[in-house]
Amino acid sequence: IISDIIISGNKTLDERTGQGGGLFCWLSAPELNNVLMVNNSSIYGGGAYLGGEGTGASFTHVTIVDNIGTYGGGFYLNLDDGQFTDQPTVLNSIIWNNKPQQIYFTEENNPWGIDISYSIIEGGQESISNANNATINWGAGNITSSPILTSNYRLDPYSPAIGAASSTDDPQTDLNGDPRPNPKGSLPDIGAYESVRALRLLRTSPILDGLVLDDISLWNDKASLSAHWIKFENNSAINYEYAIGTYDVNNIADWQSSGSDTFITVTGLNLDHDSTYFFNIIGTDAMGRVSKTSTSNGVLIDIIPPSILSADKEWTALNPVLGDLKLQLNISEPVVAGLINLSSSQGDQYELEYNLIKKEKYEMTISGPFIGGDEISIEVTGLQDRAGTIASDTTLTYPVGYISDYNVDGLIDASDLSKFVAGWLSKDFQYELGPTVGKVPFLKPDVDGQFDIYDAAAFTRMWHWSLNKSGKMIPRYYVNSGKNLTSKNENQTLMINVFESVSTMYMFFEYPKDKVVIKQLPQSSSENKIFLSDLDTLNGELLIRAGFLEPKLQSIEVPYIIRGKDDVSIKATYQTFNTSGDLESQGTKEITLKPVPKEFALHQNYPNPFNPVTTINYDLPKQTDVNLIIYDIMGREVVKLIQEEMTAGYQSITWNARNSFGLQVSAGIYFYQIQTSDFV
């Protein structure tokens, strides 16, 4: 009797005829119980060699694994005929992964064979090498599937050897001294070691969330969950229980039976958005074998539809109407579908290209040129996340700036004019405007690569529209900086000096409408100058914007008529820009307007008679040389009060009754005369 031992790592010395690497039996019939025979090697019978008469050895609860022999990696049988010879038996044992054969009979012909029952033999009966036609008694309970051993040759919980042995003449303990069978009352296990289980575990299948072929990871219904799986061990007789949980296997839905159904849907749930739920499945077959809990990968509940978090925009040109509009729509979560539709408030058909990048954002380009003042609408429809939740349609609108409105503030003003003129002077075609098509203010540029009257006309038209639309939203005060505004009065005209460094000038005048009349200025748009003005006689305001396309020393002339003979003060607010479009000067100042009579006149002095001073008034319609002389009654010159060039206007001078020598004249009658080049 050989029992409760491990035979391992043995090798016969004779490398040509060595017999029985682990066990050599000759003329003997040993009984082996609870033996582990592994990793032995020999030429004949890597595990065991049975030869001669009387070798009817018995192997009960023996595990013969991983042995190597040239002939018979597990057993080599060479039985002689004799009165004491008996067939070897294999009961409740494992013979597996021995190389090259599990059991090998010698080629010499004899009548003996082997009895095998309730054992696991790799390859089954057909794998036994039996050239001599030995009798193979393949009894009940044999298994040909893998015993599923652990690294120390014990039974894995899924091993088919568990509870599969015959209880006949079993040793009461296993190789490790543990009770057999275990647990008590169950059937013993095949092999040298006993498992702690009465029955093996059922092998499970992956649990797939959802009812579609592939596993799903997202779901958009808070009231139901589904799962499916392939039948465990392809056994239709297995009954299943399921539970649903998050942090625990059954905290959402407790264990319930689904019978043999492998497709289930659970309703009446109240699931939370952004939480993951797991299906847990246990199977039990007709023999009472139970599986471990098989758990799905989990499904994330996503009931909130995707949305556009933000939209980044970029107009590619300085003048938005000329370039493209690039947009990036950032989405709240990855999406799998969506459509982008483009429309224009002016009905234009712009070209749109868009791409979904990494399912997280849309990048798109809308190609210009655009109609100034248009409104581009981007409608996002069918935006669907991975859970299948579809967002409501979203519309984003992007107003297009007006042509000529370079700073996109909704106004066409001096700042825009300065940029336009600077672009014209530097031949920077970012600032080009014309030719245009359409009606003001919805002009669409069709630029021709040159600055000409078409560009000037486009700016002029838009300036007038802006003025009418917005009213004169005019700054009424600027802090003085840069060069001071200089001017002069001449012949009822205010002449504003424009320095040669100035390309654009803005002026706003406020005047007392009851004291002075400002005349409407002629407007012009040419290849040399753009002159724009607006006169508001109701409020006493004059607005001037001028762009000088050929900057030089020049002036802006403002004709006026003063009601009365007194000087009138007006307020001027101004800005000038240089040829680069930069602010050169600004400020606010008071300007005095001088009244100018229509004709020459000499008025009666007052008081008259007088003592000791009188005042003489005279009118000069233009600048001229003036002599004003006092004569006595005899016609002799008494004194020359004025002898110089005088500006046009209502003039006056006093006489203190003294002659040219500074002496007081005597009382009497005196005459005075005015002499100019055109009037006496």
Q: What pLDDT score does 641 carry?
A: 94
- Rounded Cα distance, 402 and 382, in Å: 33
| Cα–Cα dist 429/448, whole Å | 10
State the pLDDT at residue 259.
96
User: What is the full DSSP assignment across 76-111?
Assistant: EEEEPP-TT----EEES-EEES-BS-SEEE-SS--S
Task: Give φ, ψ of 192 to 5 degrees.
Answer: -75, -25
Is the pLDDT score of 42 beyond 90?
yes
Residues of the chain with pLDDT > 70, as a percent, come to 97
| Per-residue pLDDT band at 133 (split at 50, 70, 90) | confident
Q: Does domain 316-383+392-399 have CATH number 2.60.40?
A: yes
- pLDDT tens digits, 57-90: 899 999 999 999 999 999 998 887 766 667 899 9
CA distance 584 to 505: 10
Q: Cβ contacts of residue 102 below 8 Å, gap of 6+? A: 73, 74, 75, 95, 96, 121, 122, 123, 127, 128
Q: Residue 232 — φ and ψ, nearest 5°?
A: -60, 130
Write out the two tokens for 262. Answer: 């492998």
pLDDT number for residue 470: 65
pTM over 0.75: no
pLDDT at 469 over 80: no
Give 134 or 265, the one with higher predicted confidence: 265
pLDDT, tens only, 616-634:
999 988 889 999 999 999 9
Q: What is the mean pLDDT of the chain?
A: 91
247-to-221, 228, 250, 472, 574 alpha-carbon distances in Å: 20, 21, 9, 69, 74
Same CATH topology for 316-383+392-399 and 601-675: the answer is yes
- What is the model's pLDDT at position 46? 96
Instruction: Return phi, psi of residue 277, to 5°.
Output: -120, 145
pLDDT at 613: 94
Range among 114-123, 534-543, 580-589, 670-679 with highest mean pLDDT value: 114-123
Tens digit of each residue's pLDDT (9 = 90 or more) over 180-200: 999 988 999 999 999 999 999
User: Is the predicted pLDDT of residue 472 greater than 60, yes or no?
Assistant: no
Topology, domain 207-301: Immunoglobulin-like (2.60.40)
Residues 654 and 614 sit within 8 Å (Cβ to Cβ): yes
pLDDT tens string 427-458: 999 899 989 999 999 999 999 999 998 888 89
> Average pLDDT in the 390-394 region?
94
Q: Would you list the domain boundaries of the chain?
A: 1-200, 207-301, 316-383+392-399, 402-595, 601-675
pLDDT-based confidence at 346, cuts 50/70/90? Answer: very high
pLDDT at 190: 97
Inform me whether the pLDDT recorded for 56 exceeds 70: yes
Q: How confident is the model at residue 490 (pLDDT cuts 50, 70, 90)?
A: confident
d(CA 340, CA 395): 10
Calpha distance 420→430 (Å, rounded) = 9
Average pLDDT (3-31) is: 92
Q: For residue range 640-652, list pLDDT tens digits in order.
A: 999 999 988 888 9
Report which secondary-structure segment, H or E, holds 620.
Answer: strand 614-620
If one looks up domain 601-675 in CATH, what number appears? 2.60.40.4070
pLDDT at residue 288 tops 70: yes
At CB < 8 A and 24+ separation, what contacts does 389-396 make? 389/220, 389/302, 389/303, 389/304, 389/305, 389/306, 390/305, 391/305, 391/306, 391/307, 392/305, 394/307, 394/308, 396/308, 396/311, 396/329
The mean pLDDT value for 310-338 works out to: 92
Whether 169 shows a pLDDT value over 60: the answer reads yes
Confidence band of 574 (pLDDT split at 50, 70, 90) = very high
List, as one string, the DSSP characters of 553-578.
Answer: SEEEEEEEEESSSS-EEEEEEEEEEE
For 13-17, 320-324, 384-388, which range has the lowest pLDDT when averaged over its residues? Answer: 13-17
State whether CATH 2.60.40.10 applies to domain 402-595.
Answer: yes
Q: Which two tokens stand for residue 486?
A: 């200089």
